[in-house]
Amino acid sequence: MQHRVITFTKNIFLPLTTVCRNRCGYCSFRTPVRDGCLMAQDQVKTTLRQGAAIGCTEALFTFGERPEEEPGFKKYLKPLGYTTILNYCEAMCRKSIEYGVLPHTNAGILTLDEMERLRCVNASMGLMLETTARIPAHATSKGKEPEVRLAMMEDAGKLKIPFTTGLLLGIGETMADREESLCAIRDIHRRYKHIQEIIIQNFCPKPGTPMAGQPIPTTEEICKTIRMARDILPGDIAIQIPPNLIDAASLIRCGVDDLGGISPLTIDYVNPEHPWPALEELKTIAGEAELKERLCIYPQFIERGWYHADLKPLINRLAQTVKRRSSGS
């Protein structure tokens, strides 16, 4: 039997704001502009310090897409000393590096210039494609136009940014749409070789949203999608599933390579009702496969030097750290 390795990262989740210009039919992450709509700097720093102390290697920075387009949002940035959420994110990424944790930012749609700027302080970045289909759930979300998202993924390739993307299953797309989405990801990767992983994630219905009554994809359907992804995508793209949202143990056999970012400190703010599994649970999920920790930048991109020079000392140090932990020494 072929030796299998299932990887994961030890991370902290930092949603800098949940204000967002989009109005997706399945989302409960988005909140209106109001007091407390920004994560305070002290909270970010405390979380980074605590995460570093317990061995976390990745800081996942997220925020709602283009929150400045929402009336009243900018006034909450000014007291922090920033004019845009991007400025704030960049500063907190630098703070993350100071604490010894590699930043990975998923901020929705960004321009090439914005990604080039964030590349200096991020080991990797991401954007979920979700689907290339035009669906009712995205009707009031201009950032979810498939062409816009694919164009950003192309720009990331031009900048040689190690990139994460993925599909969101059950939001109104068909199996044929999933195939089309996977082929689009494959074609971009063939040109730029920068996509390190794709997430096959199931939609989770949220009370109070327009899609609260939508059925979730079955395990069998998810498995079929994972197998299709493995057939379509090149072997150097890892297939990831979120182990807190689905019956992950039964899906490992379908072609899963990775279990994503698991936090011993912070919750899954997008799906707070689903706690992260502990390390021992991850071993159970992996089954007979070897469970191995990784960084948010995959080894092949470290070897290629696809990161800003300022990140090299931290990447090298953390790479040795996870190697020692994985070997048990």
**Predicted confidence band at 326 (pLDDT cuts at 50, 70, 90)?**
confident
Question: pLDDT at residue 2 above 80?
Answer: no
The answer to whether 262 and 8 have CB atoms below 8 angstroms apart is: yes
Say which DSSP state 4 is in.
-
> Would you tell me how many other CB atoms lie within 10 Å of the CB of residue 79?
9
pTM for this predicted structure? 0.95
Q: Are 221 and 208 in contact (CB under 8 A)?
A: no
Per-residue pLDDT tens digits for 70-104:
999 999 999 999 999 999 999 999 999 999 999 99
Instruction: Tell me the residue type at 131.
Output: T
- Tell me what the pLDDT averaged over the chain comes to: 95
Residue 271 has pLDDT above 50, yes or no: yes
How large is the average pLDDT for residues 233-259?
Answer: 96
- Rounded to a whole number, what is the largest CA-CA distance in the chain? 59
Please give the Cα distance from 39 to 95 (Å, whole number). 14
Does pLDDT of 329 surpass 60? no
Q: Is the pLDDT of residue 217 over 50?
A: yes
pLDDT in tens, 16-42: 999 999 999 999 889 999 999 999 999
Residue 293's domain comprises 5-327
Over the stretch 129-185, which tens digit does the pLDDT of each residue have? 999 999 999 999 999 999 999 999 999 999 999 999 999 999 999 999 999 999 999
**Whether residue 7 has pLDDT greater than 90:** yes
The pLDDT of 287-308, averaged and rounded, is 97
pLDDT tens figures, 98-120: 999 999 999 999 999 999 999 99
What was the pLDDT predicted at 327?
A: 75
Q: How confident is the model at residue 328 (pLDDT cuts 50, 70, 90)?
A: low
Give the rounded percent of residues in the chain with a pLDDT score beyond 70: 99
Query: What CATH number is attached to the domain comprising 298?
Result: 3.20.20.70
- In angstroms, rounded to a whole number, what is the distance separating the alpha carbons of residues 66 and 73? 10
Per-residue pLDDT, 266: 97
Per the structure, the count of domains in the chain is 1
Confidence band for 274, pLDDT divided at 50, 70 and 90:
very high
CA separation for the pair 119, 133 (Å, rounded): 29
